[in-house]
Every structure is written in structure tokens, then in C-alpha cells.
Amino acid sequence: MADTTRIPPTEVTGAYGAIVKFAARKMTGKVPDSVGVLWHHRAVMKDAMGIGGKVEKWHELDPDLATFAGMAAAATVGCSFCLDLNYFTAHNRGVDDAKVREVPRWREASVFTELERQVMEYAEAASQTPPAVTDELSDALLAQLGPAALIELAARVAFMNMSARMNVALGIRSEHFADSCDLPPLPAPSVAATA
């Protein structure tokens, strides 16, 4: 991956580096090359990881819906790293592989419930520039999820946008985590997600 990032990775060193590498190996089985890219600005990396850890502790939104929303946002932005990592972690958490695999093309896939589709539609709409969430979609989700879960949905999508847009801007791409689980490759995002 080093030749594809816009900033060459550097060696991750020191006591804090050892902690970061341990955590990365625990989560993915290896130290992603992207850690070496972000190591150039440790405060940004530490704060982004810290926010990500806090996001994972939220619990008002169903975890499967949270996964689908994050991946739909990543597909909209075009972050192959985020899609691959979330596919891998969802598999390890026991989320339905058939559904997770289809998130990038959720509009064409027949495996999702109406609520799951609305959550992914919301994630896509919130990931547009400018955001395109409609009152009708928000009202429908508010009625089904409640205010706390809808706030969490919006915040999770916003965090994924921060992460995905940073990764895309830095040239950080998929590191094929899902391959280590023998998961079939994700399909290409639907045309609506990339328009």
C-alpha cells in the first residue's frame, strides 16, 4: 500500500506506537499500513481513534443498523478501506455476511428490510454534499427508531464521513482484511450511491 498513499507511511515507534500496534493487531490481525500514514500526526490519529472508540460504545441504534449505515456512508464517499474494514469487523461480530456484503449495492439487493433500506438511504443522503436528508425520511425514521437512535444514526454517519473523507484524501485504500476471513469480495457500489 505504501506506493498508493499520498503520504508515505513512516515507522510506528515508541511506547505509544507499541500500544497502537498491539490494538491494531488485536482488531485486525495486523498493523494496517494506514497507521504508518497517520503516524506522521499522532494527535490526529489518537483523537480520531478515540472518537471511533467512543462511537463504538453508543448503543441506542441497533448494531446491525449502525453497521449498514456506516458502510452505506463509506460507499457513498468511496472509501474502500472503510468498506473492507467494516465488512471484516461485521463478520467477526456475527452480523449477517449476506447482508453486509450487499450494502454497497443495497438498492438492488433483495436481502434488506424496509427499515434497513431507510437507514441506508439516510446514510447516503447525509453523506451527500450538501446533505440531502428529507423531512419525510427523517420523520419516518424518528417514528421507527425514536429520537436517541436517530441522533446516533446521524452522528455515526457524520463520523464515518470524517474517517472516509480523510482516508480517500490521503489515498488510504482497502488492505483486504475481508480476504483473511475468506469473505467474497464486496460488489461495486450502486450507481445511485456514487452519483
CATH number of 124's domain: 1.20.1290.10
Within a domain: 4: no
Same domain, yes or no, for 28 and 115? no
CB atoms < 10 A from the CB of 8, how many? 11
Separation CA 27–CA 124 (nearest Å): 27
Examine the domain organization and report whether 187 and 116 are in the same domain.
yes
Confidence check: pLDDT of 195 > 70? no
pLDDT at 181: 74
Q: Is residue 3 part of a domain?
A: no
Q: Are residues 35 and 105 in the same domain?
A: no
Task: Mean pLDDT check: name the lowest of 91-100, 129-138, 156-165.
Answer: 91-100
Let me know if residue 50 belongs to a domain. yes
Q: Are residues 185 and 149 in the same domain?
A: yes
SS3 assignment, position 100: helix
- What per-residue confidence (pLDDT) applies to 130? 97
The predicted pLDDT at position 174 comes to 93
Kindly state whether residue 2 falls inside one of the protein's structural domains: no
Q: How far apart are CA 95 and CA 192, in angstroms?
A: 25
Question: How much is the average pLDDT of 135-158?
Answer: 98
Residue 9 and residue 2 in contact, taking contact as beta carbons nearer than 8 Å = yes
Do residues 69 and 142 share a domain?
yes
Residue 1 has pLDDT above 60, yes or no: no
Q: Domain for residue 1, yes or no?
A: no
Mean pLDDT, residues 60-85 = 96
Under the phi-then-psi rule, with left for phi > 0, alpha for psi from -120 to 50, and beta for the rest, what region is 95? beta
The answer to whether position 74 is within a domain reads yes
How sure is the predictor about 186, in pLDDT bands with cuts at 50, 70 and 90?
confident
Q: Please report whether residue 32 resides in a domain.
A: yes
Specify whether 121 is located in the same domain as 31. Answer: no
User: Are 111 and 161 found together in one domain?
Assistant: yes
Residue range of the domain that includes 51: 11-57
CB burial of 157-170 (b: ≥16 within 10 Å; e: otherwise) equals bebbbebbbbbbeb
Residue 118 predicted with pLDDT over 50: yes
In a domain, 6, yes or no: no
Task: Answer yes or no: do 21 and 41 share one domain.
Answer: yes
Alpha carbons 69 and 120: distance in angstroms, whole number: 5
The yes-or-no verdict on residue 64 having pLDDT over 70 is yes
> How far apart (Å, rounded) are the C-alpha atoms in residues 142 and 131?
18
Number of structural domains, the chain?
2
Q: Which three cell numbers stand for residue 13?
A: 515507534
* pLDDT beyond 90 at 71: yes
**pLDDT-above-90 percentage for the chain:** 87
Q: Indicate whether 134 and 97 sit together in one domain.
A: yes
What are 173-183's pLDDT values in tens digits?
A: 999 998 877 77
Position 3 pLDDT exceeds 60: no
Provide CB contacts within 8 A for 88, sequence distance 6+.
28, 177, 178, 180, 181, 183
pLDDT > 70 in the chain, percent: 95
Q: What pLDDT score does 192 carry?
A: 60
Instruction: Tell me the whole-structure pTM to 2 decimals.
Output: 0.91
Locate 121 and state its grid cell: 438511504
Give yes or no for a contact between 79 and 171, defined as CB atoms under 8 angstroms apart: no
Q: Are residues 67 and 48 in the same domain?
A: no
Q: What is the pLDDT of residue 180?
A: 76
Same domain, 157 and 76: yes
> Which secondary structure element, helix H or strand E, spans residue 84, and what is its range?
helix 80-92
Is residue 15 domain-shared with residue 104, that is, in the same domain?
Answer: no
